[in-house]
Structure 1
Amino acid sequence: MLGHMSARPPTIRERRLAGELRRLRETTTPLNLEEAAERLGWSKTKLSRIENAIRRVTSAEVQEMLALYGLSGPRCDALVDFCKTSRQRGWWDTYEASLPTDYATYMGLEAEAEWLNSYTMGLVHGLMQTDDYTFHVVKSILMRFAPVSEVERRVAARMARQRAWLEREEPARLWTVLDEMALKRVIGDPEVMRAQYRRIIELADLPNVMLQIMPFGAGGHPGVVGSFAILGFPERFTPDVVYVENMTSALYIEEEREVHTYALAFEQMAAMALSPRESLAMIEQLAGQ
């Protein structure tokens, strides 16, 4: 029994697997936690700990669960294979499709996060983007040579991501530091930017949003090397995760010492940035131009 207990925090893949197993039980069967555990011949505690990524699950146990939930074929095989690699950490697979694996993974983590602290250097934070702004970002930067249909699917995914955040019973707390360049860089045209400024002002008024601007005059700071996000989760045994994205892939940082370094960097940057009131005044000025 002890061999199955998690001696260290779960990896992102283990969280994803646990979340998918829980989702499958809830959406494909009428079984509650206790009923499913009884059908499997397990205790309610065991199944609960598996679904919350507190207990490591074996591929054989995954097969038992999926059989109960009526899942078979390629999708079942894929989840069993995923279980075998669920303890992996570090770089994830590079992405090629319009909804890359890294982005889908991040959306899943973001949807479960209790809070997000982020620094965005070149663009407005994804949760704050308007659909027009997102379209021009995806079309001109992320998917420059992709068909319009793929671009539109990516935009739709980002808008769904925003709705999921805003419509949660308790939306994740967002504390974002935007570099001044993200506001001054014209994406699309001036009208697109004015609408984007208004959207930021609207969201900044929410009780779960803290917005600060890192002005050009602040000089050097830890964020000049690139954007990053720190995600915190409500589960007691779930560690904070740092997400760093580049052009072709993404890095998930889970080691406590490295996450702590990013947390200290964010605190330093928040102290160097404009206050929320000063930041809002800057954006209001830009919106009026």
Structure 2
Amino acid sequence: MPDTSATHVACDSAVPRRQLGRLLRDLRQGAGLTLDQVAQLIGVGRTTVQRLETAGTNRIDLEDVEAFCQACGADDLMTEALMGLAQGGDPKGWYHRFELYLGLEAVAEVLTDFNEIVPGLLQTADYARAMYRIGHPNESPSEIEQRVERRMRRRRLVVRKLRPVQLNVVLDESALHRVIGDRRTMQAQCRHLADMSTKSNVAVRILPYSAGLPVGELTGPFAIMDFGSRSDDEPVERSLVYVENYRGAMYYDDKDEVRAYRATHETLVHAALNPEASRALLRRTARKYECER
């Protein structure tokens, strides 16, 4: 998913705030700290910490969240996720902060994705670097590298040993032929996709040109985020759909909208190659790029 400067939302703006509170509470309890101890460590009152954990405030101080993470020993990836959710906790933040997507992505248990370029979680560094150079031509090499490093950290969501995200991707065949960077970059990217698709938590299906328009029109990229269930099988949080366009994106949590996008993804899955055939196509495409160099 590309960085988006004009993100619009069509769902309850309390969603990221609730996610943030639940994760902060889990983080504190995992560190074996009390509310009073965290409050003392970050220099705020107990009530402030309690409000953060219970989604009891619309005004979230990013410095408090960052200090909370440091006090509880959160790693860089979790800190980035929580900071992203904190920026989404302000209703205005839903309109312009791509960090919100990163925060939601980092806490999702299942990501169901349709894309026309390689999704960020499956990109190689060279592929991401080439995309950033195109999309941000005025940035310095060091700024581009910072973006690449951040994207590479995001990939840990897929490969971590403890509860890696389940990633279900339908990728349009055009992504294999649209050259990003150079042919060496595309060769390595196709091989990486094929290798990642062997993981038990990653399914990659290629939607071939021969499938035509399975839903009768072009849908554009979208991702469905599921956040897991409690012991009573009730969802921890409502599922969200993230829909991109050139100038921005929309979030939906209306049940009918989520159901419609799920049905669309299922239609695309049925029209796509199965994972084994997709993997074979990816490896053939990688060999083609190698021979053409």
Q: Are positions 1:132 and 2:126 aligned together?
A: yes
CA distances 1:5-51 after superposition (whole Å, capped 9, x unpaired): xxx98733323542574488579x862469779x948xxxxx6x973
Return the offset for 1:172.
0.9
Residues 130 and 180, structure 2, Cα contact 8 Å, conserved in 1: yes
Task: Please give the alpha-carbon distance, in whole angstroms, between the structure 1 residues aligned to 2:162 and 2:25.
Answer: 19
Residues 111 and 165, structure 1, Cα contact 8 Å, conserved in 2: no
Identify the residue that residue 113 of structure 1 maps to in structure 2: 108
Q: Percent identity?
A: 34
Mapping of residues 25-174 of structure 1, within 5 Å: 25=28, 31-32=33-34, 40=46, 51=53, 56-58=55-57, 86=89, 88=91, 92-94=94-96, 101-102=97-98, 104-121=99-116, 123-140=117-134, 142-174=135-167
Residues 35 and 46, structure 2, Cα contact 8 Å, conserved in 1: no
SS in 1 for 2:155: helix
- Aligned pairs, number: 250
Distance 1:185 1:112, change over 3 A: same
SS in 1 for 2:95: coil
Return the offset for 1:88.
4.3
SS in 2 for 1:224: coil
Identify the residue that residue 213 of structure 1 maps to in structure 2: 206
SS in 2 for 1:177: strand
Residues 170 and 204, structure 2, Cα contact 8 Å, conserved in 1: yes
Task: Please give the alpha-carbon distance, in whole angstroms, between the structure 2 residues aligned to 1:31 and 1:86.
Answer: 24
Amino acid in the other structure paired with 1:137: M
Query: What TM-score do you get using the length of structure 1 for normalisation?
Result: 0.73
- Structure 1 gaps of 5+ residues are 1-7, 42-46, 72-78, 95-100
Return the offset for 1:109.
1.1
Identify the residue that residue 6 of structure 2 maps to in structure 1: none
Highest Rg: 1 or 2? Answer: 1
Task: Please give the alpha-carbon distance, in whole angstroms, between the structure 2 residues aligned to 1:186 and 1:257.
Answer: 37
Return the offset for 1:145.
2.9
Q: Are positions 1:204 and 2:197 aligned together?
A: yes
Identify the residue that residue 232 of structure 2 maps to in structure 1: none
CA distances 1:204-259 after superposition (whole Å, capped 9, x unpaired): 00000111000011111347231000010024340111112233332111111111
Q: Are positions 1:12 and 2:15 aligned together?
A: yes
- Structure 2 gaps of 5+ residues are 1-10, 40-44, 70-81, 230-234, 289-293
Mapping of residues 203-282 of structure 1, within 5 Å: 203-222=196-215, 224-235=218-229, 236-282=235-281
Distance 1:265 1:110, change over 3 A: same
Query: What TM-score do you get using the length of structure 2 for normalisation?
Result: 0.72
Task: Please give the alpha-carbon distance, in whole angstroms, between the structure 2 residues aligned to 1:19 and 1:111.
Answer: 14
Distance 1:246 1:59, change over 3 A: closer
SS in 1 for 2:139: coil
What do you get for the CA RMSD once the two structures are aligned? 3.8
Amino acid in the other structure paired with 1:203: M
